[in-house]
Structure formats: structure tokens, C-alpha cells
Amino acid sequence: MMKTTAALLIAATASFTMPVAAQDISSYPSRTVTVVVPFPAGGAADLLARMAGDEIKASLGQSVVVENRSGASGMTGTEYVSRAEPDGYTLISAPMFNLSISDLIVRNSKFDPRRMEPVSVLAVYPTVLYARANLPVNTLPELIAYAKANPNKLTYASQGLGQIGHLTVEELKVSADIQMVHVPYRGSAPAITDLLAGQVDILADSVSAGLQHVKSGKFKVLAVGSKEPLSTFPGVATIGETIPGAYSETWMAVAAPPGTPKAITAKLSSAITKGFAKPEVRARVEALQLNIQGSTPEQMAGLVSTTRQRWQPVIAKAKIVIE
């Protein structure tokens, strides 16, 4: 009798709470949404997050605030969001590393990026292989030949361990059987500063990171990581023309904590996609030399999977680990 009563009580409670949950989702958002950026203000993750936040507010009618929680190559802020309530009020705007491959690199990672709920890819952009202006090479084949003749004499900068610049050059080293010394930095800005000063020899980074320095003659471009040549750098070959099958691009996206209802992520994705389709928004993003996206959660999940498959062999062969 007691078991029957308990079962009835559980069933009654469930039937009472289900409409409440549905109502909460249908009325979402009913208060301010926070988008965490796991890096300092001013970078691509921050700028894109603010654009996405503006479009979420315009579409859904609630304020969106951006909160910068930097540290540990973006892991501090991403882990914080991974532990947040899965109610759609705390989101993350982060790059490829944090949302697809961080657990492959960070030993004893405290969260699995694959459990984060995809919302929308904001932008995808290729990597460019830059060199200091006075380096005595002008193309990727020349760089490889120089590195073979001078093992471990060349230094390459990166935005940090496991970041796109690190992965790109490590794949090049493994594929071409060359040796160069890695100099990791905490982000693009200090790496670019040292490349400008001639303290390091090469850096793989975004178009926007080095374009002004190429125009001023302070950097040269050895290759582009896109699958097709870039109009921004006419006449510059792709990495794949020298290393068949190789390419290098990164992306920025919005995700939610594990367990966030699909109805909420779909609502957020729709708001971002609609907003990013506006001509004025597209113009702002493309002015940053980024390829604007705005995707469904399913499309973002596909990109996460593809990215993981793309870089997992490189991470393993190069033995990239963050303790």
C-alpha cells in the first residue's frame, strides 16, 4: 500500500512539474543572459560575443551582458560555464580549442567539451603562416628547406599550447620532418609583438592578426591555411599545395552548459542566425577578416566532430600535452 501511494505521489508530482518546465522554456528568456568570454576584452571571441549578444537581445527582448573570465588558455571561463545551471542564462563564446579538443590536450581536464550543448558557430577563419620580414625565405617550401639545413635554429611563436598556431606548425614539422623551437605565448598580441621585434621567426595566426603588418612590410606571408587561395593575399600558395591534405582554420562559437534544453539552444541559435544574416552585421564581421556563419546547433555539433577528427592525429603524433 505504501509503495502504491509513493508511486502515485511521484506520478502526480511529475505531471505537475512538466507543464512548469515547458512554461519556463516557452517564456525564455525572462531575465538577463550572460555570455562568458574566456579571454580578455578586445579579441575576436569578445567582439563576436558582443555582436551575438546584441542580436539575441534584439530578437528575444532581454538584456545580454558579456563577462570576461580569462585564464589557462580559456579553460577557466569554459570550465565555469560547463558547471553553470543548464537554464540558458549562462553561455560561453569560445574558440575551437575550448569547445572541441581541449580534453585531448589538457591532462586531467575537469570537463568534456563534447558534453557542452552547441548553440551556433559565429565565424570560421583560416590560419596564415607569417614570418619576420628579414627571414631569408619567402615560401613554405623554402622554409622547409631552410629548416632542414638548420635544424632547431628557427623559432616559431604560438598563441599558447594547443592553440591553432601550435597545431598548425606541429603538423608541418611532423609532415615535413623538420625541427623548430616552439615559443608559446599567452595569446596573439605578445606573440605578434615579438615577431615584429625579430625575437621569433614565424607565427601561424589569423588574417586580421597580421594583415596590417604585411601591408607595412614588417611581416611576410609564407602560406595560407585555407583550402583555396585567399584573395587577401594574392599569389600566396596554400599549405596544402606543399603538404597534401593539410589545411588550418579555426572558429568561434557559442555553447551552453551540458543538459541545457534543446528548445532553448534552438531559440538562441535562431536569434543569432537571423541577426548574423543582416547586411550590417555581416559587414562588421567581415571587416575583421572573418567568415561569418550563424549555424544551427546540429551544424555546430558536426563542426566540433570534424575538428576533433582533423586534429586528434596531430595532437597524438606531436605529443601535445598541457599538465
- C-alpha span between 158 and 186 (Å, rounded): 8
| Amino acid making up residue 311 | W
Angstrom distances, CA of residue 13 to CA of 16, 23, 282, 304: 5, 16, 48, 38
The CA distances from residue 247 to 74, 83, 222, in Å, are 24, 33, 14
Question: What is the torsion angle, in degrees rounded to the nearest 10, for the CA atoms of residue 96, residue 301, residue 84 and residue 164?
Answer: -10
133 and 222: one domain?
Answer: yes
Residue 49 in any domain: the answer is yes
Burial of residue 245, with CB atoms counted within 10 A of its CB: 0-12 exposed, 13-18 middle, 19 or more buried: exposed
* Cα Rg of the chain (Å, integer): 22
Contact between 88 and 261 under an 8 Å Cβ cutoff? The reply is yes
> Which is nearest to 145 in space by CA: 105, 117, 172?
172
| Residue ending a domain, choose from 208, 241, 274 | 241
Query: What pLDDT is stored for residue 24 in this prediction?
Result: 61
Residue 142 sits in a domain whose CATH number is 3.40.190.10
Residues 95 and 139 reside in one and the same domain: no
Does any domain span residue 70? yes
What residues contact 302, with CB distance under 8 A and at least 6 apart? none
- Predicted TM-score (pTM) of the model is 0.86
Helix ranges (DSSP H) in 116-224: 140-149, 164-176, 188-196, 207-215
Indicate if 145 and 231 belong to the same structural domain.
yes
Distance between CA atoms of residues 165 and 12, nearest Å: 56
Residue with cell 551582458: 65
The answer to whether residues 227 and 261 belong to one domain is no
Residues 100 and 144 in one domain: no
Q: Answer whether residue 20 is part of any domain.
A: no
Distance CA 145, CA 154 (A): 12
- If one counts the domains in the chain, the total is 2
Residue 14 lies in a domain: no
Domain end: 210, 241, 272, which one? 241
Residue 319 φ then ψ, to 5°: 55, 50
Domain that holds residue 149: 126-241
> Do 219 and 289 belong together in one domain?
no
Answer yes or no: is 21 within a domain.
Answer: no
Query: What does residue 16 show for φ and ψ, rounded to 5 degrees?
Result: -75, -40
- Interaxial angle between packed helices 297-318 and 164-176, expressed in degrees from 0 to 180 and rounded to the nearest 10: 50
Q: What distances in angstroms separate CA 94 from CA 31, 200, 260, 269, 289, one per listed residue?
A: 23, 27, 17, 15, 18
Q: Are residues 237 and 145 in the same domain?
A: yes
- My answer on whether 119 and 41 are in the same domain is yes
* 7 occurs within a structural domain: no
Q: Please check whether residue 188 lies inside any domain of the structure.
A: yes
Distances (CA, A) of 228 to 4, 18, 46, 76, 237: 67, 51, 28, 35, 9
Among 241, 274, 299, which residue terminates a domain? 241
Do residues 283 and 204 both lie within one domain? no
- pLDDT for residue 43: 79
- Residue 243 Cα distances to 61, 124, 284, angstroms: 49, 22, 33
CATH number of the domain within which 64 lies: 3.40.190.150
Regarding whether 187 and 99 lie in a shared domain, the answer is no
Answer yes or no: is 16 within a domain: no
Separation of first and last alpha carbons in the chain: 56
Which helix or strand (DSSP H or E) is residue 301 part of?
helix 297-318
Q: Does one domain contain both 63 and 158?
A: no
Same domain, 208 and 137: yes
Give the pLDDT of the chain (323 residues) as one tens digit per residue: 434 444 444 444 444 444 434 446 788 999 999 999 998 887 788 899 999 999 999 999 999 999 999 888 889 999 999 999 999 999 999 999 999 999 999 988 889 999 999 999 999 999 999 999 999 999 999 999 999 999 999 999 998 889 999 999 999 999 999 999 999 988 888 999 999 999 999 999 999 899 999 999 999 999 999 999 999 999 999 999 999 999 999 999 999 999 999 999 999 999 999 999 999 999 999 988 899 999 999 999 999 999 999 999 999 999 999 88
pLDDT at 45: 85
What's the rounded Cα separation, in Å, for the pair 88 and 90?
Answer: 6
